[in-house]
A = this chain, B = another copy of it.
Amino acid sequence: MIRLSTTDASFAQDFAALVDARRESDADVTRDVSTILRSVREEGDAALKAFTLRLDGHDLDESGWQVPLADCAAAFDALDPDLREALELAASRIRAYHEKQRPADTAFTDDAGVRLGARWRAVDAAGVYVPGGRAAYPSTLLMNAIPAKVAGVERLVVVTPTPKGTINPLVLAAAHLAGADEVWRVGGAQAVAALAWGTDRIARVDVVTGPGNAWVAEAKRQVYGVVGIDMVAGPSEIVVVADGQNDPDWIAADLLSQAEHDVTTQSILFTDSPEFADAVVDAVERQLIDLPTGETARIAWEKSGAIVLVRDLAEAMPLVDRLAPEHVEIAVDDPQPLFDLLRHAGSAFLGRHTPEAIGDYVAGPNHVLPTGRRARFASGLGVTDFMKRTSFLQLDAESLAKLGPATVALAEAEGLPAHAQSVALRLR
Protein backbone atom coordinates (compact mmCIF):
# COMPACT_ATOMS: atom_id res chain seq x y z
CA MET A 1 0.00 0.00 0.00
CA ILE A 2 1.34 3.41 -0.86
CA ARG A 3 0.43 6.80 0.58
CA LEU A 4 0.56 9.89 -1.55
CA SER A 5 -0.37 13.47 -0.92
CA THR A 6 -1.13 16.08 -3.55
CA THR A 7 1.18 18.39 -1.60
CA ASP A 8 4.18 16.07 -2.08
CA ALA A 9 6.82 17.48 -4.41
CA SER A 10 6.87 14.18 -6.28
CA PHE A 11 3.08 13.81 -6.44
CA ALA A 12 2.66 14.25 -10.19
CA GLN A 13 5.23 11.57 -10.89
CA ASP A 14 4.03 9.18 -8.18
CA PHE A 15 0.42 9.48 -9.23
CA ALA A 16 1.33 8.92 -12.88
CA ALA A 17 3.07 5.70 -11.81
CA LEU A 18 -0.08 4.63 -9.96
CA VAL A 19 -2.21 5.33 -13.02
CA ASP A 20 0.12 3.44 -15.33
CA ALA A 21 0.80 0.49 -13.03
CA ARG A 22 0.14 -2.69 -14.96
CA ARG A 23 -1.87 -5.18 -13.00
CA GLU A 24 -2.83 -7.39 -15.89
CA SER A 25 -1.34 -10.80 -16.32
CA ASP A 26 1.78 -10.85 -18.42
CA ALA A 27 1.42 -14.52 -19.18
CA ASP A 28 1.56 -14.98 -22.90
CA VAL A 29 -1.55 -17.03 -23.45
CA THR A 30 -2.15 -15.75 -26.96
CA ARG A 31 -0.60 -18.71 -28.73
CA ASP A 32 -2.14 -21.37 -26.47
CA VAL A 33 -5.54 -19.84 -26.98
CA SER A 34 -5.22 -19.60 -30.71
CA THR A 35 -4.27 -23.29 -30.85
CA ILE A 36 -7.31 -24.23 -28.78
CA LEU A 37 -9.61 -22.08 -30.92
CA ARG A 38 -8.30 -23.62 -34.12
CA SER A 39 -8.78 -27.15 -32.78
CA VAL A 40 -12.37 -26.56 -31.78
CA ARG A 41 -13.13 -24.74 -35.00
CA GLU A 42 -11.75 -27.63 -37.05
CA GLU A 43 -12.58 -30.68 -34.94
CA GLY A 44 -15.68 -29.49 -33.09
CA ASP A 45 -17.07 -31.72 -30.37
CA ALA A 46 -14.11 -34.12 -30.45
CA ALA A 47 -11.82 -31.24 -29.50
CA LEU A 48 -14.24 -30.04 -26.83
CA LYS A 49 -14.33 -33.50 -25.32
CA ALA A 50 -10.54 -33.83 -25.38
CA PHE A 51 -9.88 -30.41 -23.82
CA THR A 52 -12.52 -30.99 -21.15
CA LEU A 53 -10.99 -34.32 -20.26
CA ARG A 54 -7.52 -32.81 -20.08
CA LEU A 55 -8.33 -29.50 -18.38
CA ASP A 56 -11.47 -30.18 -16.33
CA GLY A 57 -10.87 -33.85 -15.61
CA HIS A 58 -14.14 -35.37 -16.75
CA ASP A 59 -15.42 -37.19 -19.82
CA LEU A 60 -18.37 -35.33 -21.30
CA ASP A 61 -19.80 -38.52 -22.80
CA GLU A 62 -19.99 -39.98 -19.30
CA SER A 63 -20.81 -36.92 -17.20
CA GLY A 64 -23.20 -35.50 -19.79
CA TRP A 65 -22.61 -32.58 -22.13
CA GLN A 66 -25.54 -30.58 -20.89
CA VAL A 67 -27.13 -29.96 -17.55
CA PRO A 68 -30.83 -30.75 -18.09
CA LEU A 69 -33.01 -27.69 -17.49
CA ALA A 70 -34.98 -29.80 -15.00
CA ASP A 71 -31.82 -30.07 -12.89
CA CYS A 72 -31.54 -26.30 -12.86
CA ALA A 73 -35.14 -25.97 -11.72
CA ALA A 74 -34.51 -28.59 -9.04
CA ALA A 75 -31.40 -26.74 -7.84
CA PHE A 76 -33.47 -23.58 -7.58
CA ASP A 77 -36.22 -25.32 -5.62
CA ALA A 78 -33.66 -26.88 -3.28
CA LEU A 79 -32.14 -23.52 -2.29
CA ASP A 80 -32.36 -22.34 1.27
CA PRO A 81 -35.48 -20.12 1.26
CA ASP A 82 -33.59 -16.98 2.35
CA LEU A 83 -31.10 -17.43 -0.43
CA ARG A 84 -33.84 -18.15 -2.95
CA GLU A 85 -35.63 -14.97 -1.97
CA ALA A 86 -32.39 -13.01 -2.15
CA LEU A 87 -31.75 -14.31 -5.68
CA GLU A 88 -35.32 -13.50 -6.67
CA LEU A 89 -35.03 -9.98 -5.28
CA ALA A 90 -31.77 -9.53 -7.19
CA ALA A 91 -33.26 -10.87 -10.44
CA SER A 92 -36.37 -8.71 -10.26
CA ARG A 93 -34.42 -5.55 -9.50
CA ILE A 94 -31.82 -6.25 -12.21
CA ARG A 95 -34.67 -6.85 -14.66
CA ALA A 96 -36.45 -3.63 -13.69
CA TYR A 97 -33.29 -1.54 -14.07
CA HIS A 98 -32.38 -3.03 -17.43
CA GLU A 99 -35.88 -2.72 -18.84
CA LYS A 100 -35.35 1.04 -18.75
CA GLN A 101 -32.32 0.59 -21.01
CA ARG A 102 -34.31 -0.86 -23.89
CA PRO A 103 -33.74 1.62 -26.71
CA ALA A 104 -36.64 3.19 -28.57
CA ASP A 105 -36.93 2.89 -32.32
CA THR A 106 -36.94 6.19 -34.17
CA ALA A 107 -38.70 7.22 -37.38
CA PHE A 108 -39.33 10.67 -38.72
CA THR A 109 -39.76 12.53 -41.97
CA ASP A 110 -37.52 15.54 -42.38
CA ASP A 111 -38.20 18.75 -44.25
CA ALA A 112 -36.66 17.36 -47.45
CA GLY A 113 -39.39 14.69 -47.37
CA VAL A 114 -36.96 11.91 -46.47
CA ARG A 115 -38.28 9.27 -44.10
CA LEU A 116 -35.48 7.98 -41.92
CA GLY A 117 -34.79 6.41 -38.58
CA ALA A 118 -33.40 3.40 -36.79
CA ARG A 119 -34.80 0.15 -35.55
CA TRP A 120 -33.45 -2.07 -32.76
CA ARG A 121 -33.62 -5.86 -32.75
CA ALA A 122 -32.19 -8.46 -30.38
CA VAL A 123 -29.50 -10.83 -31.53
CA ASP A 124 -30.80 -14.34 -32.14
CA ALA A 125 -28.60 -16.12 -29.62
CA ALA A 126 -26.26 -15.17 -26.79
CA GLY A 127 -23.73 -17.20 -24.86
CA VAL A 128 -22.88 -16.47 -21.24
CA TYR A 129 -19.65 -17.77 -19.81
CA VAL A 130 -19.80 -18.64 -16.11
CA PRO A 131 -16.47 -19.52 -14.52
CA GLY A 132 -16.17 -22.68 -12.50
CA GLY A 133 -14.45 -23.05 -9.17
CA ARG A 134 -13.70 -20.09 -6.98
CA ALA A 135 -15.27 -17.37 -9.11
CA ALA A 136 -18.51 -19.24 -9.90
CA TYR A 137 -20.86 -16.45 -8.99
CA PRO A 138 -24.60 -16.85 -9.48
CA SER A 139 -24.89 -13.06 -9.33
CA THR A 140 -22.71 -12.77 -12.42
CA LEU A 141 -24.91 -15.22 -14.28
CA LEU A 142 -27.92 -13.02 -13.47
CA MET A 143 -26.04 -9.86 -14.48
CA ASN A 144 -25.19 -11.34 -17.89
CA ALA A 145 -28.32 -13.34 -18.65
CA ILE A 146 -31.05 -10.94 -17.56
CA PRO A 147 -30.03 -8.08 -19.89
CA ALA A 148 -29.97 -10.60 -22.74
CA LYS A 149 -33.47 -11.77 -21.92
CA VAL A 150 -34.68 -8.18 -21.49
CA ALA A 151 -33.21 -7.44 -24.94
CA GLY A 152 -35.38 -10.24 -26.32
CA VAL A 153 -32.73 -12.86 -27.01
CA GLU A 154 -34.55 -16.08 -27.82
CA ARG A 155 -31.74 -18.53 -27.25
CA LEU A 156 -29.64 -17.98 -24.15
CA VAL A 157 -26.79 -20.44 -23.80
CA VAL A 158 -24.82 -20.85 -20.58
CA VAL A 159 -21.42 -22.52 -20.66
CA THR A 160 -19.64 -23.37 -17.44
CA PRO A 161 -16.79 -25.71 -16.64
CA THR A 162 -17.53 -28.39 -14.07
CA PRO A 163 -14.05 -29.33 -12.83
CA LYS A 164 -13.85 -33.05 -12.01
CA GLY A 165 -17.53 -33.17 -12.86
CA THR A 166 -18.61 -31.03 -9.90
CA ILE A 167 -21.50 -28.72 -10.59
CA ASN A 168 -22.18 -25.62 -8.52
CA PRO A 169 -25.89 -25.79 -7.58
CA LEU A 170 -26.06 -22.01 -7.06
CA VAL A 171 -25.07 -21.48 -10.69
CA LEU A 172 -27.75 -23.91 -11.84
CA ALA A 173 -30.33 -22.17 -9.69
CA ALA A 174 -29.36 -18.81 -11.17
CA ALA A 175 -29.51 -20.28 -14.69
CA HIS A 176 -33.05 -21.41 -13.98
CA LEU A 177 -34.05 -18.03 -12.55
CA ALA A 178 -32.51 -16.14 -15.47
CA GLY A 179 -34.29 -18.30 -18.04
CA ALA A 180 -31.29 -20.01 -19.63
CA ASP A 181 -32.29 -22.18 -22.58
CA GLU A 182 -29.23 -24.44 -22.59
CA VAL A 183 -26.49 -25.14 -20.02
CA TRP A 184 -23.34 -26.81 -21.33
CA ARG A 185 -20.63 -28.29 -19.12
CA VAL A 186 -17.70 -26.83 -21.01
CA GLY A 187 -15.37 -24.00 -20.12
CA GLY A 188 -12.11 -22.30 -21.00
CA ALA A 189 -11.11 -21.04 -24.42
CA GLN A 190 -12.64 -24.19 -25.91
CA ALA A 191 -16.12 -23.18 -24.73
CA VAL A 192 -15.70 -19.71 -26.22
CA ALA A 193 -14.67 -21.29 -29.53
CA ALA A 194 -17.73 -23.55 -29.52
CA LEU A 195 -19.99 -20.55 -28.91
CA ALA A 196 -18.34 -18.51 -31.67
CA TRP A 197 -18.16 -21.08 -34.47
CA GLY A 198 -20.56 -23.75 -33.28
CA THR A 199 -20.05 -27.51 -33.21
CA ASP A 200 -22.37 -30.35 -34.13
CA ARG A 201 -23.82 -30.28 -30.63
CA ILE A 202 -23.62 -26.59 -29.73
CA ALA A 203 -25.11 -24.18 -32.25
CA ARG A 204 -23.16 -20.96 -32.58
CA VAL A 205 -24.32 -17.76 -30.92
CA ASP A 206 -24.03 -14.11 -31.94
CA VAL A 207 -22.70 -12.54 -28.74
CA VAL A 208 -20.49 -14.01 -25.99
CA THR A 209 -20.32 -12.33 -22.58
CA GLY A 210 -19.20 -13.20 -19.10
CA PRO A 211 -16.01 -13.18 -17.05
CA GLY A 212 -13.26 -15.74 -17.01
CA ASN A 213 -9.58 -16.30 -16.46
CA ALA A 214 -6.82 -15.04 -18.76
CA TRP A 215 -7.49 -17.85 -21.28
CA VAL A 216 -11.18 -17.04 -21.49
CA ALA A 217 -10.50 -13.31 -21.79
CA GLU A 218 -7.95 -13.90 -24.56
CA ALA A 219 -10.31 -16.29 -26.34
CA LYS A 220 -13.03 -13.64 -26.32
CA ARG A 221 -10.56 -11.11 -27.68
CA GLN A 222 -9.63 -13.49 -30.49
CA VAL A 223 -13.23 -14.28 -31.51
CA TYR A 224 -14.24 -10.63 -31.40
CA GLY A 225 -15.62 -9.85 -34.85
CA VAL A 226 -16.80 -13.42 -35.39
CA VAL A 227 -19.24 -12.70 -32.59
CA GLY A 228 -19.85 -9.66 -30.43
CA ILE A 229 -18.28 -9.69 -26.96
CA ASP A 230 -18.89 -7.59 -23.88
CA MET A 231 -15.41 -6.32 -23.08
CA VAL A 232 -11.88 -7.40 -22.45
CA ALA A 233 -11.94 -7.62 -18.66
CA GLY A 234 -9.01 -7.22 -16.33
CA PRO A 235 -8.51 -7.02 -12.57
CA SER A 236 -11.16 -5.09 -10.63
CA GLU A 237 -10.68 -1.85 -8.79
CA ILE A 238 -12.47 0.47 -6.38
CA VAL A 239 -11.84 4.11 -5.60
CA VAL A 240 -13.38 5.55 -2.45
CA VAL A 241 -13.63 9.31 -2.08
CA ALA A 242 -14.40 9.96 1.57
CA ASP A 243 -14.36 12.86 4.00
CA GLY A 244 -13.31 12.49 7.64
CA GLN A 245 -16.88 12.04 8.86
CA ASN A 246 -17.18 8.39 7.81
CA ASP A 247 -16.88 5.39 10.09
CA PRO A 248 -13.36 4.10 9.28
CA ASP A 249 -14.60 0.52 9.62
CA TRP A 250 -17.20 1.00 6.93
CA ILE A 251 -14.67 2.39 4.48
CA ALA A 252 -12.08 -0.25 5.38
CA ALA A 253 -14.65 -2.95 4.65
CA ASP A 254 -15.41 -1.34 1.29
CA LEU A 255 -11.72 -1.31 0.35
CA LEU A 256 -11.39 -4.95 1.42
CA SER A 257 -14.52 -6.00 -0.46
CA GLN A 258 -12.57 -5.27 -3.62
CA ALA A 259 -9.27 -6.64 -2.36
CA GLU A 260 -10.75 -10.03 -1.44
CA HIS A 261 -11.64 -10.82 -5.07
CA ASP A 262 -8.15 -11.46 -6.29
CA VAL A 263 -4.55 -10.54 -5.56
CA THR A 264 -4.51 -8.27 -8.62
CA THR A 265 -7.40 -6.05 -7.53
CA GLN A 266 -6.81 -2.49 -6.46
CA SER A 267 -8.39 -0.38 -3.68
CA ILE A 268 -7.67 3.34 -3.49
CA LEU A 269 -8.89 5.84 -0.91
CA PHE A 270 -8.94 9.58 -1.58
CA THR A 271 -9.54 11.66 1.53
CA ASP A 272 -8.93 15.18 2.79
CA SER A 273 -8.33 14.00 6.37
CA PRO A 274 -4.94 12.55 7.38
CA GLU A 275 -6.44 11.36 10.67
CA PHE A 276 -9.21 9.53 8.86
CA ALA A 277 -6.64 7.96 6.53
CA ASP A 278 -4.74 6.64 9.54
CA ALA A 279 -7.93 5.32 11.08
CA VAL A 280 -8.84 3.48 7.86
CA VAL A 281 -5.38 1.92 7.64
CA ASP A 282 -5.78 0.67 11.22
CA ALA A 283 -9.27 -0.64 10.52
CA VAL A 284 -8.07 -2.50 7.44
CA GLU A 285 -5.37 -4.19 9.51
CA ARG A 286 -7.89 -5.12 12.23
CA GLN A 287 -10.41 -6.52 9.78
CA LEU A 288 -7.79 -8.47 7.84
CA ILE A 289 -7.07 -10.57 10.93
CA ASP A 290 -10.46 -12.26 11.00
CA LEU A 291 -11.39 -12.05 7.35
CA PRO A 292 -11.68 -15.58 5.83
CA THR A 293 -10.47 -14.17 2.54
CA GLY A 294 -7.79 -12.14 4.32
CA GLU A 295 -4.85 -13.84 2.70
CA THR A 296 -5.88 -12.73 -0.77
CA ALA A 297 -7.08 -9.34 0.42
CA ARG A 298 -3.83 -8.59 2.22
CA ILE A 299 -1.73 -9.30 -0.84
CA ALA A 300 -3.95 -7.11 -3.03
CA TRP A 301 -3.98 -4.29 -0.46
CA GLU A 302 -0.25 -4.37 0.15
CA LYS A 303 0.66 -4.69 -3.52
CA SER A 304 -1.77 -2.30 -5.17
CA GLY A 305 -3.64 -0.43 -2.43
CA ALA A 306 -3.19 3.32 -2.13
CA ILE A 307 -4.26 6.26 -0.04
CA VAL A 308 -4.16 9.69 -1.61
CA LEU A 309 -4.43 12.75 0.61
CA VAL A 310 -6.02 15.72 -1.13
CA ARG A 311 -6.43 19.32 -0.02
CA ASP A 312 -10.16 19.06 -0.59
CA LEU A 313 -12.32 16.39 -2.18
CA ALA A 314 -12.98 18.40 -5.34
CA GLU A 315 -9.25 18.09 -6.02
CA ALA A 316 -9.71 14.31 -6.04
CA MET A 317 -12.16 14.13 -8.91
CA PRO A 318 -9.84 14.88 -11.88
CA LEU A 319 -7.40 12.40 -10.33
CA VAL A 320 -10.15 9.79 -10.19
CA ASP A 321 -10.87 10.54 -13.86
CA ARG A 322 -7.30 9.63 -14.70
CA LEU A 323 -7.79 6.26 -13.01
CA ALA A 324 -11.18 5.85 -14.74
CA PRO A 325 -12.01 3.14 -12.23
CA GLU A 326 -14.57 0.39 -12.38
CA HIS A 327 -16.19 1.51 -9.10
CA VAL A 328 -16.21 4.88 -7.33
CA GLU A 329 -17.76 5.50 -3.94
CA ILE A 330 -18.37 9.10 -2.95
CA ALA A 331 -18.91 8.83 0.79
CA VAL A 332 -20.00 12.30 1.88
CA ASP A 333 -23.33 13.77 3.01
CA ASP A 334 -24.01 15.52 -0.30
CA PRO A 335 -22.30 13.50 -3.04
CA GLN A 336 -23.95 15.08 -6.07
CA PRO A 337 -21.60 18.08 -6.51
CA LEU A 338 -18.57 15.77 -6.47
CA PHE A 339 -20.29 13.29 -8.79
CA ASP A 340 -20.98 16.15 -11.19
CA LEU A 341 -17.21 16.68 -11.45
CA LEU A 342 -16.58 13.05 -12.42
CA ARG A 343 -16.31 12.02 -16.08
CA HIS A 344 -14.82 8.52 -16.17
CA ALA A 345 -16.06 5.63 -14.05
CA GLY A 346 -17.93 2.40 -14.61
CA SER A 347 -20.35 2.82 -11.75
CA ALA A 348 -20.74 5.32 -8.91
CA PHE A 349 -21.97 4.67 -5.37
CA LEU A 350 -23.19 7.83 -3.75
CA GLY A 351 -23.43 8.71 -0.07
CA ARG A 352 -22.43 6.99 3.13
CA HIS A 353 -24.98 4.18 2.92
CA THR A 354 -24.10 2.87 -0.54
CA PRO A 355 -21.32 0.30 -0.19
CA GLU A 356 -20.18 -1.00 -3.55
CA ALA A 357 -21.28 -4.53 -2.64
CA ILE A 358 -24.93 -3.49 -2.78
CA GLY A 359 -24.38 -2.93 -6.50
CA ASP A 360 -22.82 -6.36 -6.92
CA TYR A 361 -26.05 -8.09 -6.09
CA VAL A 362 -29.44 -6.55 -5.64
CA ALA A 363 -29.46 -2.86 -6.51
CA GLY A 364 -30.20 -3.32 -10.21
CA PRO A 365 -27.39 -1.71 -12.26
CA ASN A 366 -25.02 -4.16 -13.88
CA HIS A 367 -21.91 -5.30 -12.05
CA VAL A 368 -20.13 -6.23 -15.28
CA LEU A 369 -18.13 -3.03 -15.66
CA PRO A 370 -15.08 -1.76 -17.53
CA THR A 371 -11.83 -2.32 -15.64
CA GLY A 372 -8.22 -1.23 -16.06
CA ARG A 373 -9.03 2.39 -17.01
CA ARG A 374 -11.39 1.27 -19.78
CA ALA A 375 -14.18 3.39 -18.29
CA ARG A 376 -12.51 6.14 -20.34
CA PHE A 377 -14.29 4.64 -23.35
CA ALA A 378 -16.41 1.67 -22.28
CA SER A 379 -19.67 1.15 -20.42
CA GLY A 380 -20.98 -1.57 -18.16
CA LEU A 381 -22.85 -4.45 -19.72
CA GLY A 382 -26.32 -3.50 -20.82
CA VAL A 383 -29.31 -4.42 -22.91
CA THR A 384 -27.89 -2.92 -26.11
CA ASP A 385 -24.93 -5.31 -25.93
CA PHE A 386 -27.48 -7.93 -26.97
CA MET A 387 -29.13 -5.79 -29.63
CA LYS A 388 -28.20 -4.02 -32.80
CA ARG A 389 -29.59 -1.12 -34.74
CA THR A 390 -30.66 -1.07 -38.38
CA SER A 391 -30.82 2.42 -39.80
CA PHE A 392 -33.26 3.03 -42.63
CA LEU A 393 -34.03 5.54 -45.31
CA GLN A 394 -36.90 6.07 -47.69
CA LEU A 395 -36.94 8.68 -50.43
CA ASP A 396 -39.43 9.39 -53.16
CA ALA A 397 -38.86 10.99 -56.55
CA GLU A 398 -39.26 14.45 -55.05
CA SER A 399 -36.87 14.06 -52.12
CA LEU A 400 -34.36 12.27 -54.34
CA ALA A 401 -34.45 15.28 -56.64
CA LYS A 402 -33.38 17.40 -53.67
CA LEU A 403 -30.54 15.19 -52.41
CA GLY A 404 -29.52 13.53 -55.64
CA PRO A 405 -27.34 16.21 -57.27
CA ALA A 406 -25.12 16.57 -54.19
CA THR A 407 -24.73 12.80 -54.06
CA VAL A 408 -23.72 12.68 -57.72
CA ALA A 409 -21.17 15.46 -57.15
CA LEU A 410 -19.61 13.73 -54.15
CA ALA A 411 -19.57 10.27 -55.74
CA GLU A 412 -17.83 11.66 -58.81
CA ALA A 413 -15.32 13.53 -56.66
CA GLU A 414 -14.54 10.28 -54.85
CA GLY A 415 -14.06 8.38 -58.11
CA LEU A 416 -17.11 6.16 -57.70
CA PRO A 417 -19.02 6.51 -60.97
CA ALA A 418 -21.44 3.62 -60.39
CA HIS A 419 -22.51 5.32 -57.17
CA ALA A 420 -23.19 8.48 -59.16
CA GLN A 421 -24.95 6.52 -61.88
CA SER A 422 -27.32 4.75 -59.48
CA VAL A 423 -28.61 8.17 -58.44
CA ALA A 424 -28.36 9.95 -61.79
CA LEU A 425 -30.44 7.30 -63.58
CA ARG A 426 -33.29 7.96 -61.14
CA LEU A 427 -33.10 11.73 -61.63
CA ARG A 428 -33.86 11.58 -65.34
Contacts and interface: CB of A to CB of B under 8 A. Distances in A.
Interface residues on A, range: 35 or more
Interface in A314-366: 335, 339, 342-366
A212 to B, nearest CB: 14
Contacts of A347: 390-393
Contacts of A380: 389, 391
Contact of A358 (B354, B355, B404, B425): B404
A260 B85 contact: no
A413 interface: yes
A256 interface: yes
Nearest to A296: B418
Contacts of A206: 376-377
Contact of A353 (B225, B351, B397): B397
Interface stretch (A4-12, A38-46, A86-94, A269-277): A86-94
B96 A110 contact: yes
Contact of A260 (B100, B355, B370, B416): B416
Q: Which of A83, A256, A357, A397 gathers most chain B CB within 10 Å?
A: A357
A137 interface: yes
A236 to B, nearest CB: 12
A422 interface: yes
Contacts of A261: 416
Contacts of A225: 221, 231-232, 374
A163 B249 CA distance: 62
Interface in A365-381: 365-366, 370, 374-380
Given A85-B406, A228-B377, A260-B418, 10 more contacts: A86-B405, A114-B363, A224-B232, A253-B422, A259-B418, A287-B421, A346-B391, A353-B400, A361-B406, A377-B388
Interface of A: 82-83, 85-87, 89-90, 93, 96-97, 100-101, 106, 108, 110, 114-116, 118, 121, 123-124, 134, 137-139, 170, 206-207, 221, 224-225, 227-228, 231-232, 247, 249-250, 253-254, 256-257, 259-261, 287, 291-293, 297, 335, 339, 342-366, 370, 374-380, 382, 384, 388-397, 399-400, 403-407, 409-411, 413-423, 425-426
